[in-house]
Structure 1
């Protein structure tokens, strides 16, 4: 049925010539769930789309692999390998690479959840969800960490690789880097919107820097409301495998959501 599809894809690949990763993908409505098992490590990737075309298991290109927690090439992709580390109980990198030519497209955002029983949850946890382009630098996209055992959640406007990290950087430094990235993205907005968006971010940053958490979050909420109202109009809001830079609205919304999380975390748990 087109209105409710449940499709399965079983993908296997070699890891160190021995371990096999099984990825079982089910799709229903605007959501997809990938059950992952490899060498005793189990996790679940859940994707909830705002709007999507051709959401089918084979169109998502989901794979997974175990990684070495001491791999120099991988550590070089982390923000600070002395403070952000791969948990030994979950050395798992998940890749989502939708193939071209399928008609797959997402609009606005996709909520990504990586759920595992391999990690213990505690309030104020330092587990974070990171995302990177293939071979690129990983950045924190977390907007929620919830129990069960650990559910790291984040929002993004596109794909491709995801890791759960233990992030011991100061929350203030994380907030600063997220503001830098978000302001750089907002600077790419059309001139008719750029000034307002940058001013809202400047107001939010000023409030955050002075410890006015509620005011900072309110300014970011206003920023998100304006971006949402312009998505698909003044701001491009579609990601496809062949047009990966077309979803500026989704990336702005995702960046603001992750900033709100970090500001709230500092308010509740300190730096």
Structure 2
């Protein structure tokens, strides 16, 4: 009944958070019949606890102008069956830190899975523009997965944009992240990104995937000493390696989708 009725404004949802080791789990909604479950797997976390994550969730008005303005275009919508936004906003003094990436899985029974699904996992800074961070969409009913070098808000959307345009957007994001580095680090990354772009345009998807792997290998090898790789709750560090690796994860997903399902 709750999901069938329109949501006039944001309404808080209950969340139950547990954490152990490098993994945290969030149950959103009624614990006996949750609306969604979110799992966060950190590459390397310090100070991880339910309190240090700062998790909250809301039901949102899917057609509100404020929400629509944060999405890339009218072809991206939040499904009425899952009008939920999950925020992970660690408190500055909570002590959370991690290196490189967080692997995010949002699982829900509210949406049906089909092969070639257009459901995607999007992420935004608080109040900012959402972007696609999807690295997998799998059954069960729907499991959207992605990675991130930081936080804040996550939402599942239906994305009907042409996939080649999505790929171009993700290439531009990688270029923007590379531009945050010194020229000696940025230039080799730009050269590899250009090679991936050309391979995609030529329909040479194996070459494009090989280029993504080469980028991932270079970033991983140079993370830490040459490319900043740490995020912490005090927000005084730029986790560029994590953002680059996450950008490559979602780029690989979209290249594979373009290969398998077309534009």
TM-score of the superposed pair, with normalisation by structure 1: 0.91
In structure 2, relative to structure 1, the CA distance for the partners of 1:25 and 1:41 (3 Å cut) is closer
In structure 2, relative to structure 1, the CA distance for the partners of 1:136 and 1:17 (3 Å cut) is closer
Q: Secondary structure at the match of 2:14?
A: strand
1:226 aligned to 201, 204, 218, which one? 218
Deviations 1:56-103 (A, max 9, x none): 0110000000000111011000000x2101101000000000001122
Deviations 1:163-194 (A, max 9, x none): 10000000001001111111111122222211
In the TM superposition, 1:112-151 aligns within 5 A as: 112-151=104-143
Deviation at 1:236, TM superposition (A): 0.5
Q: Secondary structure at the match of 2:199?
A: helix
Partner of 2:21: 29
Deviation at 1:242, TM superposition (A): 2.0
Distance of 1:96 and 1:20 partners within structure 2 = 14
1:76 aligned to 50, 66, 69, which one? 69
Q: Is the 8 A contact 2:94 2:233 kept in 1?
A: no
Q: Secondary structure at the match of 2:94?
A: coil
RMSD of the TM alignment (CA)?
A: 1.8
Q: Is the 8 A contact 2:11 2:60 kept in 1?
A: no
Distance of 1:213 and 1:17 partners within structure 2 = 43
2:165 aligned to 173, 178, 194, which one? 173
Q: Secondary structure at the match of 1:225?
A: helix
Deviations 1:100-119 (A, max 9, x none): 11221111000011100000
Distance of 1:100 and 1:179 partners within structure 2 = 31
Distance of 1:244 and 1:213 partners within structure 2 = 38
Deviations 1:179-223 (A, max 9, x none): 111111112222221111111101011101111111011001100
Partner of 2:4: none
TM-score of the superposed pair, with normalisation by structure 2: 0.93
Q: Secondary structure at the match of 1:35?
A: strand
Q: Does 1:49 align with 2:42?
A: yes
2:204 aligned to 188, 197, 212, which one? 212
Partner of 1:6: none
Number of residues of Structure 1 aligned to a counterpart in Structure 2: 256
Q: Secondary structure at the match of 1:113?
A: strand
Q: Is the 8 A contact 1:158 1:244 kept in 2?
A: no
Q: Secondary structure at the match of 1:264?
A: helix
Distance of 1:245 and 1:168 partners within structure 2 = 35
Q: Does 1:163 align with 2:155?
A: yes
Distance of 1:204 and 1:270 partners within structure 2 = 17
Deviation at 1:35, TM superposition (A): 0.4
Q: Does 1:104 align with 2:96?
A: yes
Q: Is the 8 A contact 1:26 1:32 kept in 2?
A: yes
- Unaligned stretches of 5+ in structure 2? 1-6
In structure 2, relative to structure 1, the CA distance for the partners of 1:190 and 1:72 (3 Å cut) is same
